[in-house]
Amino acid sequence: MTGADGRFSRRSLLLRGAGAGLLPLVLGMTPDRSERGMTNLVVFQSGHGGVPPEFMYPDLAMLDGGESLEYADRVVRRGALERTVVDTRASVSPVLTAAENALTDRLVSRLNILRGLDVSFLLSHNVGGCLGNFAANDGLSSDALKERGFPNDTIDNRLAWSPSFYNDLKGVRARSLVLGSPGMSWAFSQPKTRTGVPQRRPSTYSTRRVFDMLFGSDTASGLPNRWAVDRARASFNELIGKDAWVSKSDRERFSVHLDQLAEIERRVRTVPACNPDAPSVDTGIAASAAGFRHSAAEMRTVWQELNALTAVTLGCGASRIITCNALADHMHDFSGEWHTEIAHGWTGDPDKVRLNWQAQQLFFEEVVLDLALRLDAVPGQRGGTVLDETLIVWAQECGPVTHMNASVPVVTLGGAGGRMKTGQYCDYRSKVKLSSTDFLVDDNYSKFDAGLLYNQLLYTILETEGLSRDELVSASEPTIGRVRYATGFDDHYRSAYAMASERLPFL
């Protein structure tokens, strides 16, 4: 069901395969959030194998006639994105292809494709890298194994506890949500002060669990007037005032416990701005079924139900940060073992190459673009839509070669409240060819073009979402996420490192 301009109508979008039970809320909600200039962040991560550049990216001719800039000893380039339409399919690259009334000119104008963002060592299997915790890896290279000793929090949690981002928690039932498989999101045990031990945050595929957390009945009614955590803190202060033998570690542990209780109590006392119907199905059941990861249809249904709930969540401000880990959710019906046979077995086999990149294409169309369309159907607070107030980031686990983390593909959608330029194909690669047996291990690309550091993308995301430079970098943390170089690579990335705590060019 489309309008005169060929766009999906609001009603058809919210009914598009999932989320019909949430429709009445989204069409009628008008929470007043405009005075805060709110933005939202949604990050998707999908898994490997690597997608060859000719399938992932637009033709390089799209950069011709665009802008070029001497930057960090490189010549970086940008061009305006344009779609082509054949029959009923619109495309800016083979992977970035969808129905022509979904991937519209309007959506393409809110799209960015970023090429040449590198993790400068062999990170290999990882789950936290796309958000900046490079220690969350399987230790399959010597550098990756060393990096496991230096865990840190991920950018979603830096954002969640920033007073610049959440300067008003009215209606916010969860500072951030973690959907899909575990391991993508990490927070310090004391996230407000970014101290303590980095811990993996729990995640879920369950729409019912997320709904209960955000819109369940555990609100402020019936709670005592004075917070329980205040009483506990007063008792503890009295105790340590009398007993000098309470150890420093015990004090720290109790302080962490009190902070966690305070956040739980804050959430419980928060009344959500919306009162939607509960999801009709619990996607957690389907996601735990034995055949889930061998059925593109099942994965589509689960993620589109989660998208429908995400649209409601962002639309009414119950949370503004959502991370989605789909590393193992390859959109296919392949009955074999994906990791060995496809992710590592596609080289030189045209059928496996096609199956590999088409799985990423389906993820883009059925998951990432699906969410963008839903958000574009929800009215925003400044005359546009929620998509205009949101930054969606889609990153992959590796670059064009499986396990290789140079030129990790990044796609963004949405305007983040006008804080990011869009409609661009940006190429940050140098023309200096690099090769290293420490960096490339098992595939057929022996050389690559060194780009800018992936850390610079992380900085750009946080700055776009409203964090100041003082919040982002310091003498002890000069970059967002640590920087480690594969053997011999420091010379090639030294100039990129100098720019890693600046906004990426063209954005």
Q: Using one digit for the tens of pLDDT, what is the confidence trace for 261-288?
A: 777 677 777 788 888 999 988 999 999 9
Looking at the DSSP assignment, which residues form a beta bridge with residue 84? Answer: 91
Q: Is the pLDDT of residue 178 over 90?
A: yes
Cβ atoms 135, 152 nearer than 8 A: yes
C-alpha distances (whole Å) from 321 to each of 118, 355, 391 are 24, 32, 10
Identify the pLDDT of residue 24.
39
Percentage of the residues of the chain whose pLDDT score is greater than 90:
57
Residues 97 and 103 sit within 8 Å (Cβ to Cβ): yes
With cut-offs at 50, 70 and 90, classify the pLDDT of residue 318: very high
What is the predicted pLDDT for the residue at 37?
A: 58
Question: pLDDT grade, residue 210 (50/70/90)?
Answer: very high
- The torsion angles phi and psi of 3, rounded to 5 degrees, stand at -85, -175
- Residue pLDDT, tens place only, 354-394: 988 999 999 999 999 999 999 999 998 778 999 999 999 99
Q: What pLDDT, on a 0 to 100 scale, did the predictor assign at position 405?
A: 84
Q: State the pLDDT at residue 54.
A: 93
Please answer whether residues 171 and 31 qualify as being in contact, where contact means their C-beta atoms are separated by less than 8 angstroms.
yes
pLDDT category at 3 given cuts 50, 70, 90 is very low
pLDDT at 32: 45
Distance, CA of 294 to CA of 303 (rounded, Å): 15
pLDDT value at residue 382: 78
N- to C-terminal Cα distance for the chain?
34
Q: Minimum mean pLDDT among 197-206, 217-226, 295-304, 327-336: which range?
A: 217-226
**Residue-wise pLDDT tens digits, 425-449:** 999 998 765 654 444 433 444 566 7
Q: What is the pLDDT of residue 369?
A: 98
Q: Residue 344 has what pLDDT?
A: 79
Say which residue, 419 or 18, is predicted with more confidence.
419
Residue 181 has pLDDT above 50, yes or no: yes
- Using the predicted structure, report yes or no on whether residue 296 has a pLDDT greater than 50: yes
Q: What DSSP state is assigned to residue 339?
A: I
pTM, two decimal places: 0.88
Whether the pLDDT of residue 341 is over 90: the answer is no
Contacts 24+ apart (CB under 8 A), 160-165: 160/187, 160/191, 160/321, 161/191, 161/192, 161/194, 162/466, 162/467, 162/471, 164/466, 164/467, 164/468, 164/471, 165/320, 165/465, 165/466, 165/467
pLDDT of the residue at 406: 83
Task: Look at residues 181, 314, 212, 194 and name the one whose alpha carbon lies nearest to residue 259.
Answer: 194
Average pLDDT value for the chain: 84
How buried is residue 248: exposed, middle or buried, by Cβ count under 10 Å (0-12/13-18/19+)?
exposed
